Amino acid sequence: MAHLRNNNFEHLRNKAFELGFSSFAVAGIQLPDRYAAKYRAWLDGHYNGTMDYLNTHLPLKENPRLLVENAMNVICVSFLYRCEDPLPNDPDHGYFSLYARGRDYHKVIKQKLNRLAEEIQTIATDCSLRVFVDSGPVFEKYYAHEAGLGGTGRNSLVISNTCGSFIFLGEIITNLPLPITGKTDFDPCKSCERCISICPTGAIMDNRQLNANLCIAYLTIEYKGIIPHALAARMGNHVYGCDECQLCCPWNRKKRYSQEPDFKCRYTADFTKLENLLKLGESDFLRTFEGSPIRRIGYESFLRNTIIAAGNSANTQYLPVLEDIATRTQSETVRQHTVWAMEDLNRNKTKVCSQTDK
């Protein structure tokens, strides 16, 4: 069996920091039944929306040794992604989640984790390992907590007491015996409930879990098709993702910015004006968001989200461009949201006129 000497462990930790990771910690592979049961109950309640892959992943999540034979440990890393924010956040500008303003994080983090994995394999040549970032079949929040990276917030995110919650998580599952760095007792929330009261759609449930069906991040990114009008009306200017439950969190009050050049914001205030986003055609969309996670949602969802934002803006200057989209679109989703957006803006126009007449 492959082994690491103590100084090699320190070497790996240093390598992780050199690659830009904010933390490097280790959890044992064992998973308590109660954790899997809680997750299964969440799936049974259909709180995962249309993300069926979460059901498909369950057998692997519950049995990580199906991913790596004789797996013993999970190396957990975090990477700070918050970029400096030069973009206005108001009803006439589309909001893009902070994690999505630079290069696709899947690629950036995976490359770095692969480099860390190579380093492990040069030290322990006969070990087996696999690397996971984000949507892999791994209970990443559980292992991050077990390894001592942070505690789980009411918004369901892992919160580090040094970096806050604007972090990506990554894992290396390995059969290599490693020193476990230790679970933290850190409860980031205590009596705080700020994110629950600020969430625009009431998506944060008890028990530090989310109802994805109501979450704007899910609706704008994962969900395809027509969003119920009443829900869309609460989505504000969110075109891609939502950071409300993180921006309000006291653990993010101190603004720590990522030093990673790939996560620098690529967009300008002018670009995110709704009047400009509404005019982007499909080829412009594909070209502009080349290499960005935003491209993954596809043009139809992007346009739908931008139309919803225009409908929520109360700014009637968007009516002509919405009328133009309604006459040209082949998409039932886009057409329906355009009709609702125009109705909402016209209703607002009538309200303003009648107030002026008084």
Residues designated catalytic: 134
Judged by beta carbon, residue 39 or residue 318, the one nearer ligand SF4 is 39
Find the shortest distance in angstroms from Cβ 175 to ligand SF4: 35
Residues that bind ligand SF4 (CB under 6 A): 153-155, 188-189, 192-195, 199-201, 203-204, 210, 215-217, 242, 244-245, 248-251
Q: Which C-beta is closer to ligand SF4: that of 19 or that of 214?
A: 214
CB of 36 to ligand SF4, least distance (A): 23
For residue 25, the cross-strand partners are 76
Report in angstroms how near the CB of residue 189 gets to ligand SF4 at its nearest: 3
The torsion angles phi and psi of 273, rounded to 5 degrees, stand at -60, 135
Q: How far apart are CA 196 and CA 154, in angstroms?
A: 8
Is there a contact between 26 and 181 (Cβ–Cβ < 8 Å)?
Answer: yes
CA distances (Å), origin 96, targets 99, 136, 309: 8, 23, 12
Please identify, using beta-carbon distances, which residue of 247 and 314 lies nearer to ligand SF4. 247
Residue ranges of E strands in 18-119: 23-28, 73-80, 95-96
Residue 197 or 356 with smaller CB distance to ligand SF4: 197
Rounded CA separation 273/252 (Å): 26
Q: Is 264 left (phi over 0), alpha (psi -120 to 50) or beta?
A: beta
Which position's Cβ is nearest ligand SF4? 153
- Cβ-count burial 215-254 (b if 16+ within 10 Å, e if not): bbbbbbbbbeebbebebbbbbbbbbbbbbbbbbbbebbee
The least CB distance from residue 244 to ligand SF4, in Å, is: 4
Considering the complex, state which of residue 90 and residue 193 has its C-beta at the smaller distance from ligand SF4: 193
Residue 266's SS3 state is coil
Smallest gap from residue 96 Cβ to ligand SF4 (A): 13
